[in-house]
Amino acid sequence: MPEEMFPDRPWANGDNPKTAVWEYLLRLREEGRQARDGNPLRFEIDKMVENKLLITAAPDGYLRRV
């Protein structure tokens, strides 16, 4: 939607929930963080959930631990 329709929205291009998810996944890969059990902490975008919903307000926003 155009930004003019939602002037009180706290995010814009490059600063929104979707780019935050992408940045989080990138940092996990680059920093090699570990989970509590000592294994590498890895997530991927779960397209299966998105495809089941058909319509979502959070594209690329469903993660699955791998």
Which DSSP string corresponds to 4-26?
Answer: GG-TT-S-BTTBSHHHHHHHHHH
Q: With cut-offs at 50, 70 and 90, classify the pLDDT of residue 1.
A: low
When comparing pLDDT for 64 and 2, which is higher? 64
Question: What residue ranges do the domains of the chain occupy?
Answer: 10-65
Supply the pLDDT for residue 27.
94
* Residue 26 burial class via C-beta count within 10 angstroms: exposed 0-12, middle 13-18, buried 19 and up: exposed
Does the predicted TM-score (pTM) go above 0.75? no
Model pLDDT for residues 13-61, shown as the tens digit of each residue:
777 888 999 999 999 999 988 999 999 999 999 999 888 888 888 888 8
